[in-house]
């Protein structure tokens, strides 16, 4: 079969496959590529219970007491980031469990969600040596988003309460590597 015939057959076959058509099938296929969930589009991923998330979100919402749409948006960002940070802790525990009890070490793997998450994270990065540093980067990004949203919420609430609130400051940083050997700058 030549290249043109193969392309024609592929086009014909692609017309036969329409993918999932039911809402359940579409929802399931949305997360086919999901590995660890730290950067997932959806907040709740496999093996997490909606009820647990809703209770967590309600507790934070009660603590933060948003008023109005803008404060509610900040609280939603805080909830999402805090939930992902909780997942990151489970990932870290899973990576430790995998490293300590992997078949390579001659020990039996312990079961459980944390181990499964940790192994998924390791597989997403293709090796366990890089897993902790990658997890730290994700965790730092999520924590920064959480802190940023929390500070903005506090600023909005202070302004709503009538307190004089300074706008967020922008800091310009200039790095000067003159005189530093190339190996130290890397």
Q: What is the pTM of this model?
A: 0.62
Kindly report, residue by residue over 74-117, the tens digit of the pLDDT.
Answer: 999 999 999 999 988 888 777 777 666 665 554 444 555 555 66
124: burial class by Cβ within 10 Å (0-12, 13-18, 19+)?
middle
Kindly report, residue by residue over 110-133, the tens digit of the pLDDT.
Answer: 555 555 666 666 666 656 567 777
Q: What percent of the chain clears pLDDT 90, i.e. is strictly above it?
A: 32
Please, what is the angle between helix 113-125 and helix 68-101, to 10°?
A: 90
The whole-chain average pLDDT of the chain stands at 76
Q: Report, as an integer, the average pLDDT of 145-160.
A: 94
Higher pLDDT residue, 53 or 46? 53
Residue 161 pLDDT > 80, yes or no? Answer: yes
């Amino acid at each position: 079969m030549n290249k043109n015939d193969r392309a024609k057959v592929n086009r014909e076959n692609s017309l036969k496959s329409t993918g999932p058509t039911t809402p359940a099938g579409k929802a399931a296929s949305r997360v086919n590529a999901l590995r660890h969930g730290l950067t997932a589009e959806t907040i709740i991923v496999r093996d997490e219970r909606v009820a647990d998330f809703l209770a967590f979100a309600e507790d934070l919402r009660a603590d933060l007491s948003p008023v109005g749409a803008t404060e509610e948006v900040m609280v939603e960002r805080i909830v999402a980031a805090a939930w992902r940070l909780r997942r990151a802790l489970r990932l870290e525990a899973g990576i430790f469990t995998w490293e300590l009890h992997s078949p390579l070490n001659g020990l039996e793997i312990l079961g459980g969600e944390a181990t499964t998450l940790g192994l998924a994270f390791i597989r997403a990065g293709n090796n366990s040596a890089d897993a902790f540093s990658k997890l730290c980067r994700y965790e730092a990004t999520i924590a920064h988003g959480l802190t940023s949203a929390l500070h903005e919420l506090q600023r909005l609430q202070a302004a709503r309460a009538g307190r004089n609130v300074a706008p967020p400051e922008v800091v310009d940083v200039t790095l000067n590597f003159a005189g530093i050997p190339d190996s130290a700058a890397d």
